[in-house]
Amino acid sequence: MENLIDLDKMHFIHPTSSIKQQQEEGSKIIFEKGDGIYLTDKNENVYIDAMSSLWNVNIGHGRKKLAEAAAEQMEKLAFSSAFSTFSHEPAIKLAKKIATITPTGLNAVFFTSGGSESNDSAVKLVRHYWKIQGQPNRRKIISLKRGYHGVAAASTSVTGIPEFWGMAGHLMTDFVHADTPYGKGTEKAITSLRHVIEEEGPETIAAFMAEPVQGAGGVLIPPDDYFKEVRELCNEYGILLVADEVITGFGRTGRMFGMENWGVIPDMMTFAKGVTSGYIPLGGVVVSDAIHDVLKEKSEGTLFHGFTYSGHPTAAAVALKNIEIIEQEKLVENSRKMGEQLVKGFQKMKQQLDIVGDVRTIGLLGAVELVQDPKTNKRFSSDMKVAPKVIDALHERGVICRAVTYESTDIICFAPPLIMEQSQIDTLVDKLHDAILFVQ
Ligand code: PLP
């Protein structure tokens, strides 16, 4: 049989990867199986999956109940359409469940297959919302610099990390990026956001879209009062607030949804990843009753927006079982508790290692920044970044996590499964400490 590494190089174009490096070096790890917080590769090496793979395997790997839920639904009805006036029980029940667990007033769900589709759908829905209300000029979407929202047509442009615009340029227009509140503070960030709104013209702005915590940007946790002020600003100018809860949803930040950390209710919420813990693709947009009412009253004819897999019955059955497990095992509470333990470990490590700068967690979403001088927060130059070396050292020590190194950043991100136990947190921190010592 041909070697897997060679076949991989020949036939598999990897997502978000350097095609050249992939060709030269081949895949470093070929995963074979998963169990709880662990992944095992083809050579029987075992790793702690400290990223829940792609911030999504919230309940951990190898859950038979999810496989059973999928099998049961597939045997009964693997797929049928939900277009037009067709429907099916799993999607109806999941929509009801999501309406129940999202904040008050968010009660209607449009399903997709993932985060990018959800954010593209949100952009189209907000523009449609304004159009049918006689304000077609409200088209602009403001989002945050260093925000990540996906790679489809609109979500690429909503994303505030310029590297993502390089591949094919902007496919849609009317996107504006405002300063992240991280490291800036609420007052400055809100003043700058107000400035952007005034400059662009409030009557041209459809929505402000942001992640409650900017994940791929480096786990940038906003100040506690930031989103409350954003909510007020949006109300003042009649701008819709869209929360991208693709990473932060389903317990990741120690609350069921990220915005709940600050008691803020958005007008729309997008979700994906943790809704099925990655066992099967699914995402969606939840809209407020006010928006739903406008759509019901003023949307004429067919809404020409729907994916073949919107509300996929098997995916919906898996999501229902996944949410049941999150609730039964109290994983939201565990995320909060274990996040507090994780940051304690990071803080202890910071006292012992000179190159550790800011450390932070919110639930089981965390980051460790690496700096040349922790007193002045001076970063390493772009050719001296440390995070990628720490990531390699962690791989050798049996931990998978992720580096963020664009612009001046040098960050290691963590998003371990919400089932983490204290002893596993301790092992993770010990291994990180050891890896940083090794490379510093
Ligand atoms: N939004 C956020 C906050 C994300 O982190 C991601 C993916 O990482 C997306 C959207 C895009 O989701 P997907 O990769 O499922 O299209």
Same domain? For 233 and 372 the reply is no
Question: Which residue stretches of the chain have pLDDT < 70?
Answer: 1-2
Q: Is the Cβ atom of 270 under 6 angstroms away from ligand 1?
A: no
Sheet of 106-112: strands edge to edge? 106-112, 283-288, 268-271, 240-244, 205-210, 140-144, 175-178
Range of the domain at 178: 65-328
Beta bridge partners of 143: 177, 209
Same domain? For 189 and 337 the reply is no
Same domain? For 334 and 322 the reply is no
Q: Is the Cβ atom of 116 under 6 angstroms away from ligand 1?
A: yes
Residue 4 lies in a domain: no
Domain boundary among 308, 328, 348: 328
Q: Is the Cβ atom of 52 under 6 angstroms away from ligand 1?
A: no
Same domain? For 337 and 324 the reply is no
Residue 6 lies in a domain: no
Q: Is the Cβ atom of 127 under 6 angstroms away from ligand 1?
A: no
Give the distance (Å) from ligand 1 centre to CA of residue 149.
5
Ligand 1, atom nearest to 211 Cα: 3
Q: What is the DSSP string of 215-244?
A: TTTT-BPPPTTHHHHHHHHHHHHT-EEEEE
Residue 343 lies in a domain: yes
Same domain? For 153 and 173 the reply is yes
Dist. CA 99–CA 60, nearest whole Å: 24
Q: What is the pLDDT of residues 425-436, one digit of tens each?
A: 999 999 999 999
β-pairing, 205-210 with 240-244? parallel
User: Nearest to residue 248, comparing CAs of 259, 238, 240?
Assistant: 259
Same domain? For 167 and 72 the reply is yes
Ligand 1 pocket, mutate which of 116, 155, 242, 270 (most atoms under 8 A from CB): 116
Residue 295 lies in a domain: yes
Q: Is the Cβ atom of 244 under 6 angstroms away from ligand 1?
A: yes
Count of domains for the chain: 2
Q: Is the Cβ atom of 215 under 6 angstroms away from ligand 1?
A: yes
Task: State residue 203's pLDDT score.
Answer: 98
Q: What φ, ψ does residue 17 adopt, rounded to 5°? A: -150, 165
User: Nearest to residue 66, comparing CAs of 321, 328, 251, 283?
Assistant: 321
Other Cβ atoms closer than 10 A to 286: 30
Q: What is the pLDDT of residues 4-51, one digit of tens each?
A: 999 999 999 999 999 999 999 999 999 999 999 999 999 999 999 999
Q: Is the Cβ atom of 365 under 6 angstroms away from ligand 1?
A: no
Same domain? For 71 and 51 the reply is no
Residue 206, SS3?
Answer: strand
Give the distance (Å) from ligand 1 centre to CA of residue 57.
13
User: Nearest to residue 72, comparing CAs of 60, 64, 81, 82?
Assistant: 64
Ligand 1 pocket, mutate which of 151, 245, 246 (most atoms under 8 A from CB): 246
Give the distance (Å) from ligand 1 centre to CA of residue 354.
33
Same domain? For 50 and 102 the reply is no
Ligand 1, atom nearest to 119 Cα: 10
Residue 93 lies in a domain: yes
Q: Is the Cβ atom of 156 under 6 angstroms away from ligand 1?
A: no
Nearest CA to ligand 1 atom 10: 149
Same domain? For 324 and 334 the reply is no
Amino acid at 420: M
Ligand 1, atom nearest to 150 Cα: 11
Beta bridge partners of 110: 285
Same domain? For 411 and 266 the reply is no
Give the distance (Å) from ligand 1 centre to CA of residue 156.
10
Q: Is the Cβ atom of 150 under 6 angstroms away from ligand 1?
A: yes
Q: Is the Cβ atom of 260 under 6 angstroms away from ligand 1?
A: no
**Residue labelled with tokens 């523009």:** 127
Residue 22 lies in a domain: no
Q: What φ, ψ does residue 175 adopt, rounded to 5°? A: -120, 135
Sheet of 356-361: strands edge to edge? 356-361, 366-370, 411-414, 402-404
CATH number, residue 45: 3.90.1150.10
Give the distance (Å) from ligand 1 centre to CA of residue 361.
20
ipTM: 0.99
Dist. CA 251–CA 432, nearest whole Å: 24
Ligand 1 pocket, mutate which of 16, 149, 276 (most atoms under 8 A from CB): 149
Nearest CA to ligand 1 atom 12: 115
Other Cβ atoms closer than 10 A to 235: 10
Nearest CA to ligand 1 atom 13: 115
Q: Is the Cβ atom of 208 under 6 angstroms away from ligand 1?
A: no
Q: For the packed helices 387-396 and 422-439, what is the interaxial angle rounded to 10 degrees?
A: 120
Same domain? For 371 and 391 the reply is yes
Residue 31 lies in a domain: no
Domain boundary among 328, 348, 364: 328
Q: Is the Cβ atom of 119 under 6 angstroms away from ligand 1?
A: yes
Same domain? For 179 and 139 the reply is yes
Residue 16 lies in a domain: no
Domain boundary among 328, 360, 381: 328
DSSP-H helix ranges across 162-271? 186-200, 226-237
